[in-house]
């Protein structure tokens, strides 16, 4: 006789508690109380006859049995979600796979979105649902199928591949540069400088051999996409990733000042969960992305 399947809410409580390492955080995520999570997990332990969690300080750490079961439940919930999505789409969208992608806002808005037409043309049966992320620290990696973030994910079972080695250059609009007809790289500190919260002008000055301090005035941006928009609008000079600025340079909307390049301080990592039920589709998108970056 097959083993009775525990209530779905208990299995969801197990998966969330194992992933968040906290009954309280699992309760917040599932909109339940802490006592409800504890009740579900005690019932699950009683039904299975095994211990699923142990306390370690303020954290609830899954046992080997709990971690293994939580991982199987996670995959099963993914499969169920995919089946429900397919049922909602109906016959007209048969064979279409949807991927939830969370990415750094600058990479998505400046680099990825302008190229998605090519992706949809070559992969018509893949739909992407895009979610902007602005923080250097990655979000919950289980919440999406793909992450393009600045840092690797520390959780076990995730694949993180560095997308590119990029460099930073100084750029401005042709209109702004025209106001400095005899421009030399040493003149940079005399120009209006746009500041970026994740990059110092000092590093660029040092690489260019310019004796100047970090500017303490001028507009400050925490999103590189907005920084580039302000630069194209002629509001000042910015340091920008060459990969993000390349299309603007090719269209003549921006010009590079001098030939100095410095390494980008933050990388982009393409992240997904190993063994994901849609891993083959995720790798299709990854291969397309790498081909586009190589161009």
How far is the first Cα of the chain from the last one, in angstroms, to the nearest whole number? 58
The total number of structural domains that make up the chain: 3
pTM, to two decimals: 0.73
Query: Are 160 and 28 contained in the same domain?
Result: no
Among the candidates 76, 106, 122, a domain finishes at 76
pLDDT tens string 38-95? 999 999 999 999 999 998 887 888 898 988 898 888 888 877 877 776 666 544 455 7
Query: Are 240 and 176 contained in the same domain?
Result: yes
- Residue 49 sits in which domain range? 8-76
Query: Are 137 and 281 contained in the same domain?
Result: yes
87 occurs within a structural domain: no
pLDDT tens string 286-295? 999 999 998 7
> Residue 90's pLDDT is what?
45
37 occurs within a structural domain: yes
Query: Are 29 and 60 contained in the same domain?
Result: yes
Among the candidates 18, 47, 76, a domain finishes at 76
Q: What are the backbone angles phi and psi of residue 213, rounded to the nearest 5°?
A: -90, 165
Question: Can you give the CATH number for the domain in which 210 is found?
Answer: 3.40.190.10
């Amino acid at each position: 006789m097959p083993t009775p399947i525990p209530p779905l809410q208990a299995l969801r409580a197990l998966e969330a508690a194992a992933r968040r390492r906290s009954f309280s955080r699992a309760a917040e995520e599932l909109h339940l109380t802490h006592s409800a999570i504890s009740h579900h997990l005690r019932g699950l332990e009683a039904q299975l006859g095994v211990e699923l969690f142990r306390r370690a300080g303020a954290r609830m750490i899954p046992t080997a049995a709990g971690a293994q079961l939580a991982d199987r439940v996670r995959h099963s919930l993914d499969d169920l979600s995919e089946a429900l999505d397919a049922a909602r789409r109906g016959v007209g969208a048969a064979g279409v796979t949807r991927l939830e992608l969370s990415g750094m806002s600058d990479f998505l808005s400046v680099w990825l979105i302008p190229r998605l037409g090519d992706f949809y043309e070559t992969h018509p049966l893949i739909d992407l649902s895009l979610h902007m992320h602005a923080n250097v620290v990655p979000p919950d990696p289980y919440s999406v199928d793909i992450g393009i973030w600045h840092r690797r994910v520390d959780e076990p079972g995730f694949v993180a591949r560095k997308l590119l080695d990029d460099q930073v250059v100084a750029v401005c609009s042709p209109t702004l540069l025209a106001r400095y007809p005899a421009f030399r790289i040493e003149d940079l500190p005399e120009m209006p400088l746009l500041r970026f919260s994740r990059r110092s002008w000092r590093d660029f000055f040092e690489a260019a051999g310019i004796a100047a301090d970090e500017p303490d005035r001028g507009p400050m941006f925490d999103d590189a996409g907005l920084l580039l928009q302000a630069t194209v609008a002629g509001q000042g000079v910015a340091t920008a990733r060459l990969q993000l600025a390349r299309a603007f340079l090719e269209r003549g909307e921006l010009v590079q000042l001098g030939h100095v390049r410095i390494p980008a301080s933050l990388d982009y990592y393409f992240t997904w969960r190993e063994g994901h039920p849609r891993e083959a589709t995720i790798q299709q998108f990854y291969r397309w992305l790498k081909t586009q970056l190589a161009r």
